Amino acid sequence: MSNSESHPPVPLELIQAALRAARARNATVADVPTQVIAQEAGISRSTLLRRLGGSRHALDAAVRAAGIDPGGQKPVRERAIDAGANLISRHGLASLSLERVAAAARCSVYSLYAAFGGRDEMLQAIFLRYSPLVDVEAVVSAQPADLESTVRKIYALMATALRREPRVLPAILAELLSRPQDDSLQPLVQYVFPRLFAGVGKWLTSEIAAGRIRDLPPLLLIQQMSSPLVLHLLLRPATQQVPDLHSPPVEEVCAMFADAFLRAVARPAPAADGNVQQG
């Protein structure tokens, strides 16, 4: 990874926010959810994770470096999600089994059943933690101010999720592309896509009804919005190894693809005199 994409040390204000949140809950920093720490810091959870480099491990390490014990073992559910994410990132989705996760998380298989219900539910929890779905749902359900700002927020969230370590989302996408009909993937597919259309699909349908975007099938709109950025970020680690093949900063890439999507699907806004403004 180039120096321009390396993550800086954890800012002092985030360490202080984590400590305040821990004191307010009478808990250790490790036991405070990232959402609570983000609220204490006055930022979104996705922004917090981006400033931490995609994982809260950096925050716990920074708190420890400041001379404060961040806390003991995380709950089984949190340890299992961390362990499962690392297994998927390093060895692929086929490596995710309750037995392997239990060994890596230092817990029993029985405790995983108690925490999740089974492997499928555990995979769903890992996906939700490392995908942008939850944050995107929040953006499109919060009465978006305008189409352009909403699209740009979604692109930023996608970029954050696809660049996070461990690389869970790229690993899952690779499995879906190479073995789309694999039985082990179907529970995740049947869970994610209906939820995606209930959130993002509903927002796009409302934008069509309001006359702000072209009347295209929501599936095609979602693919048109996400595919260029997803493909770029999946290939970016490889293309960066090619000499003289310049990759613009990710923020610029997001802006370029957002502009292209808006030009492709947005309808011209009506002028004050009732005529359509020309783009």
Q: What is the 3-state secondary structure (H, E, C) of 160-207?
A: HHHHCCCCHHHHHHHHHHHCCCCCCCHHHHHHHHHHHHHHHHHHHHHH
Q: Convert the pLDDT of each residue in 98-122 to its tens digit.
A: 999 999 988 888 888 988 999 999 9
Q: Convert the pLDDT of each residue in 133-156 to its tens digit.
A: 999 999 998 866 689 999 999 999
Q: What is the mean pLDDT of the chain?
A: 88
Angle between helices 119-130 and 98-105 (to 10 degrees): 60
Q: What pLDDT is stored for residue 205 in this prediction?
A: 95
Whether 59 contacts 37, CB under 8 Å: yes
* CA nearest to 225, candidates 146, 159, 179: 159
Q: How far apart are CA 103 and CA 109, in angstroms?
A: 9
C-alpha dist (Å) from residue 92 to 85, 88, 176, 233: 10, 4, 11, 18
Enter the DSSP assignment of 214. Answer: -
What are 191's two structure tokens? 């869970």
Neighbours of 216 (CB within 10 A): 13
Residue identified by tokens 């073992």 is 73
Q: What pLDDT is stored for residue 58 in this prediction?
A: 85
Q: Convert the pLDDT of each residue in 10-58 to its tens digit.
A: 888 999 998 998 888 777 787 788 888 999 999 998 888 888 887 778 8
* CA nearest to 10, candidates 67, 64, 58: 58
> Got the DSSP string for 115-159?
HHSSHHHHHHHHHHHHSSHHHHHHHHHS--S-HHHHHHHHHHHHH
Q: How far apart are CA 171 and CA 73, in angstroms?
A: 27
Q: How far apart are CA 185 and CA 88, in angstroms?
A: 13
Q: What pLDDT is stored for residue 244 in this prediction?
A: 87
Q: Convert the pLDDT of each residue in 226-274 to its tens digit.
A: 999 999 999 999 998 898 888 899 999 999 999 999 999 999 876 555 5
Q: Which domains does the chain have, with CATH numbers?
A: 3-65 (1.10.10), 76-117 (1.10.10.60), 131-265 (1.10.357)
* CA nearest to 220, candidates 273, 265, 186, 170: 265
Whether 25 contacts 270, CB under 8 Å: no
Instruction: Choose the weakest-confidence range: 36-45, 55-64, 160-169, 200-209.
Output: 55-64
CA dihedral angle for residue 228, residue 194, residue 85, residue 10, rounded to 10 degrees:
70
Whether 69 contacts 28, CB under 8 Å: yes
Q: What pLDDT is stored for residue 2 in this prediction?
A: 40
